[in-house]
């Protein structure tokens, strides 16, 4: 339960044949239950504020959202949590996993008072006695935080762990300098650090080996390399300037993974790569995954949403329901969410994905159209490379002695 890459949390209870036999039929709500929020596994992505004082060129939020977003009141957050808890208490599931993933905006800009109240409310509602396993992970840019306040918070409420985004020089030299300083402080404080990088042109210039060496030197525990998404805010200039092709993403990942395996074989410290672990983990248990049934994003006004795509692969947030106006079961069973999950299960009807052996383990997190004349958004070339490497090196043998992933 360490890596908070969403893909790491895919619950997968159905086998591939079962999936293949079903892809041409209409799915009912029951069909998606065994590997979803409905079964008691919820990566609850909390965006109670979209505020952030930075201006990252790739950001999916408008400047208006970053500066003036409303903040969900503590009272409304409590109502939301109570409604989710009521839903589970009616279902009578014994063990439930709630991963509170604090996203944004910059979540820390809501302030420590807010955070303390919010985490205490959530922890008091989703208790062990009721069968909940809970975990809080905060994703922060690190730049604007007062470390003397936030590091003790991560220690106590995040089990000594937090996540931070690292995008190299895309955010500027000054950013990297300040960020590095704070990472060093976090390590000195005894925290475990995970990073998320949007693979962008600046990281490509450095090259994967250098990026891995840099993060290894900083003793980052795990890293996740996300494909760069096209959205309304970065449309045009920023997207064209920074977004690499998926071919470039796959090449980057292959190089990063080569470095990872080399270092491992020498017994040297190297950060875990989220995508690498995810793909190998999924490969070991042929099953249905990548259906986005384990997560929802909560917006400041109570809307539950998830990323969806228009114009092929341009991202926007798709609305499923508002928790302040209806109960949680209604949101989960809404027409919109059912249509969305059907789209995930049918891989957005992409013929190449429906035929693809990697559909349960590629990095296509929310399904969209692939770009012509490029590797797909699942990073097929990387998945192929990794699986070949793993087979050749016996990493996928499933017996008591050799299972590595
Ligand atoms: C918007 S930030 C919010 C959390 C926090 N403020 C931070 O900077 O880490 C969330 C993550 O989304 C990533 N992100 C933003 N725009 C993106 C895009 N166009 N494609 C892929 N990831 C993106 C960011 O780099 C960051 O890792
Ligand atoms: S690897 Fe590519 S082609 Fe295969 S399922 Fe994933 S996105 Fe589709």
Distance CA 404, CA 241 (A): 39
So what's the pLDDT on residue 9? 34
So what's the pLDDT on residue 215? 98
Q: What average pLDDT does this structure show over 130-149?
A: 94
Ligand 1 contact, 46 CB (< 6 A):
no
Distance (angstroms) between ligand 2 centre and the Cα of 31 equals 22
Please give the backbone phi and psi of residue 82, each rounded to the nearest 5 degrees, phi first: -65, -40
Q: Which long-range contacts (CB under 8 A, 24 or more apart) does 334-339 make?
A: 338/27, 338/29
Residue 2 has pLDDT above 70, yes or no: no
| Average pLDDT for the chain | 87
Distance (angstroms) between ligand 2 centre and the Cα of 360 equals 9
Ligand with minimal distance to 348 CA: 2
Q: What angle do CA 102, 104, 109 make, to 5 degrees?
A: 90
Give the confidence band of 397 by pLDDT, cuts at 50, 70, 90.
low
pLDDT in tens, 59-105: 888 889 899 889 999 999 999 999 999 999 999 888 999 999 999 89
Ligand with minimal distance to 353 CA: 2
Percent over 70 (pLDDT), the chain: 87
Residues 6+ apart with CB under 8 A from 157: 115, 119, 136
Distance CA 331, CA 339 (A): 12
Q: Which one, of 9, 13, 231, lies nearest residue 98 by Cα?
A: 9
Residue 29 has pLDDT above 70, yes or no: no
So what's the pLDDT on residue 289? 59
Determine the angle formed by the axes of helices 112-125 and 147-157, rounding to 10 degrees: 10
Paired residues of 42 in beta bridges: 98
pLDDT in tens, 256-292: 999 999 999 999 999 999 999 989 888 866 556 566 8
So what's the pLDDT on residue 85? 98
Ligand with minimal distance to 369 CA: 2
Distance CA 118, CA 44 (A): 14
Q: Which one, of 159, 76, 74, lies nearest residue 111 by Cα?
A: 74
Q: What angle do CA 333, 339, 343 make, to 5 degrees?
A: 130
Distance (angstroms) between ligand 2 centre and the Cα of 353 equals 5
Residues 6+ apart with CB under 8 A from 93: 39, 40, 131
Q: 188: burial class by Cβ within 10 Å (0-12, 13-18, 19+)?
A: exposed
Beta-strand runs (E) in 122-208: 132-140, 161-165, 192-198
pLDDT in tens, 49-71: 999 998 888 888 888 989 988 99
Count of residues making up the chain: 405
More confident call, 365 vs 156: 156
Q: Which atom of ligand 1 is nearest to the CA of 196?
A: 27
């Amino acid at each position: 339960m360490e890596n908070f890459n969403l893909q790491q949390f895919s619950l997968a209870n159905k086998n591939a044949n079962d999936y293949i036999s079903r892809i041409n039929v209409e799915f009912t709500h029951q069909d998606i239950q065994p590997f979803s929020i409905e079964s008691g596994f919820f990566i609850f992505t909390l965006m109670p504020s979209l505020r952030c004082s930075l201006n990252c060129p790739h950001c999916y939020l408008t400047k208006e959202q970053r500066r003036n977003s409303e903040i969900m009141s503590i009272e409304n957050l409590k109502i939301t949590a109570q409604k989710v808890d009521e839903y589970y208490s009616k279902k009578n599931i014994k063990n439930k996993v709630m991963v509170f993933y604090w996203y944004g905006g910059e979540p820390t800009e809501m302030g420590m008072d807010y955070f303390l109240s919010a985490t205490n409310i959530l922890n008091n509602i989703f208790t062990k006695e009721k069968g909940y396993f809970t975990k809080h992970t905060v994703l922060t840019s690190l730049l604007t935080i007062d470390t003397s306040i936030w590091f003790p918070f991560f220690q106590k409420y995040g089990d000594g762990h937090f996540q931070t985004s690292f995008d190299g020089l895309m955010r500027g030299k000054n950013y990297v300098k300040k960020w590095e300083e704070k990472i060093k402080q976090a390590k000195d404080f005894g925290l475990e650090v995970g990073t998320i990088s949007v693979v962008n042109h600046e990281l490509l210039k450095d090259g994967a080996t250098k990026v891995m060496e840099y993060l290894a030197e900083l003793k980052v525990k795990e890293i996740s390399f996300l494909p760069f998404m096209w959205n309304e805010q970065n449309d045009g200039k920023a997207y064209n300037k920074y977004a690499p092709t998926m071919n470039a993403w796959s090449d980057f990942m292959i190089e990063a993974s080569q470095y990872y395996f080399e270092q491992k074989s020498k017994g040297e410290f190297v950060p875990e790569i989220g995508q690498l672990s995810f793909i190998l983990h999924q490969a070991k248990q042929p099953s249905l995954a990548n259906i986005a049934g384990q997560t929802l994003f909560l917006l400041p006004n109570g809307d539950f949403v998830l990323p969806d795509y228009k114009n092929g692969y341009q991202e926007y947030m798709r609305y499923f329901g508002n928790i302040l106006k209806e109960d949680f079961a209604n949101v989960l069973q809404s027409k919109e969410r059912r249509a969305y999950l059907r789209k995930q299960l049918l891989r957005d009807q992409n013929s190449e994905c429906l035929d693809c052996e990697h559909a349960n383990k590629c990095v296509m997190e929310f399904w969209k159209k692939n770009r012509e004349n490029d590797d797909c958004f699942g990073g097929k070339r990387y998945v192929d490379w990794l699986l070949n490497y793993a087979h050749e090196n016996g990493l996928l043998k499933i017996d008591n002695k050799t299972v590595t992933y």
